[in-house]
Amino acid sequence: MVTPGIRAPDVAMAEEVLVGLNTIFPIIKRMYGVKKIGMFGAFARRDAIPVDTVELMVEFSPGFETYRHYLGLKWHLEEYFSTRIYLITTRVLAESPAAASFDPEMGEVDQEALVQVLGELDFLQARCKGMAYESFTRESLLRRACERSMEIMSLAVRRISVPQKEMYPAAPWKEVEGISQSIAEARFGADPFLLWHFIVTEVPGFTQVVRSAIQAASRRHHHDEGLTPSGTGSSEE
């Protein structure tokens, strides 16, 4: 079982990860069909923030893009580095709206989670705009999509730091955090009225808060003269 400690990524640690990836690349290429693998996020940027996860992006060779290979690779890397691994495919980085709008040079701890939250909020508003509860209950696929969107949003909010949340104390951070657990524990499914009511009453205001938080972070970045971007580094075929 992996029990990593909190640590701050620095140049030495990033180099250690790169050396490790290059060392085991022939093995993971053969076992899991890895075509390309490299760092992204905090380790790639050398952000001076506490982290307990190494963020890696991977591209699989044709014929190896399966959950068996993805999970096998993730577990192999966690065992090798003795730390938690966040593994994302290059396809997600290329196609995800949240990833596309993510500015890797900002260096803000919370930006990635905030952008993901905003993406889900925009989805909920676009799909349910002007929809009455009776119509919402009849659209079973839409309800399931909204339920999943709210679950993703809830998990993303959990990653946002306390200082960031304290900047917007009126926002329903705690309530949103509780959504994912509530959905997971719903033995007979989530209450559609509660889903619809949250979308109608809470989402518009929460969207404004999250958008403001992202814009404020961007302004702080552009006024920070000491910030310099870093490359990601990768091992590939």
- What does DSSP say about strands 53-60 and 84-89: parallel, antiparallel, or unpaired? parallel
pTM: 0.63
| pLDDT, one tens digit for every residue, the chain (237 residues) | 344 444 444 566 778 888 999 999 999 999 999 999 998 766 666 655 445 678 899 999 999 999 999 999 999 999 998 888 889 898 887 776 555 555 444 445 578 789 999 999 999 999 999 999 999 999 999 999 999 999 999 999 988 888 889 999 999 999 999 999 898 888 888 899 999 999 999 999 999 999 999 888 777 655 554 443 333 456 665
Q: For residue 236, which phi and psi values (nearest 5 degrees)?
A: -150, 170
3-class secondary structure for 108-130?
CCCHHHHHHHHHHHHHHHHHHCC
